Structure 1
């Protein structure tokens, strides 16, 4: 009988190790949150307050006007229906500018294998970037 792979309890240190292995440049923000930051987006690696939820949250840096909301929501619904992650939603702060945020979450309360965690991080980062490119193409098509 083949032994089961070891289960680990992910923490920020392990995520840093995995990002290094994947050759993904990362940084820490002023609050100590681990992130990948580019001109187009910032991807944060977060843990729930209970320690049982791992979230990869992407803030897309392009702002949209309220006039763009119907087109954006149609595109977001299309993406969310056709893809597993990240689930992307529109957020409108008090200034009326629409921001897009993507979320992917994994329950880690019982632990996960390191291999699974590495695979998840690689895919979630790739698809967070893929969404940015997909939306740019989708909106360009919409305006043609």
Structure 2
């Protein structure tokens, strides 16, 4: 019988190692959160307060007006219905400017294999970028 792969408990240090292996440039922000930042989006790698949830949360840098909200929500709902991750949603802070945020989460309370974690991170980051491109194309089509 083949032994089971080793299970690890992910932490910021391990995520940093994996990002380095994947050649993904990253930084730690002023609040101590690990992130990948580009001109179009910022991807954060976060751990739940109980330590049992790993989240990749993407903040897309384009802002939308209230007038664009119906078209935006239609596009976000389409993505969420057709795609497993990231799940995306509109967030409207008090300023009234609408932001798009994407989330993908993995339960890590029992640990995960390093190989699985590496695969998840690579796919989630790729799909965070893919969503950005998809949304830009989708909204350009609607506006055209």
Give the TM-score band, short-chain normalised.
over 0.9
C-alpha RMSD of matched pairs (Å): 0.3
Determine the structure 2 residue equivalent to 1:128: 128
| Cα-to-partner distance string for 1:18-44 (whole Å, 9 max, x where unaligned) | 000000000010001000000000000
Task: Tell me how far apart the structure 2 counterparts of residues 50 and 139 of structure 1 sit (CA, whole Å).
Answer: 38
Determine the structure 1 residue equivalent to 2:77: 77
Determine the structure 2 residue equivalent to 1:44: 44
Unaligned runs of 5+ in 1: none
Unaligned runs of 5+ in 2: none
The runs of at least 4 aligned residues of structure 1 exceeding 3 Å deviation read none
Secondary structure of the residue aligned to 2:49 is: coil
Determine the structure 1 residue equivalent to 2:67: 67
Task: Tell me how far apart the structure 2 counterparts of residues 5 and 74 of structure 1 sit (CA, whole Å).
Answer: 42
TM-score, normalised to structure 1's length?
Answer: 1.00
Determine the structure 2 residue equivalent to 1:137: 137
Tell me if 1:106 matches 2:106: yes
Determine the structure 1 residue equivalent to 2:32: 32
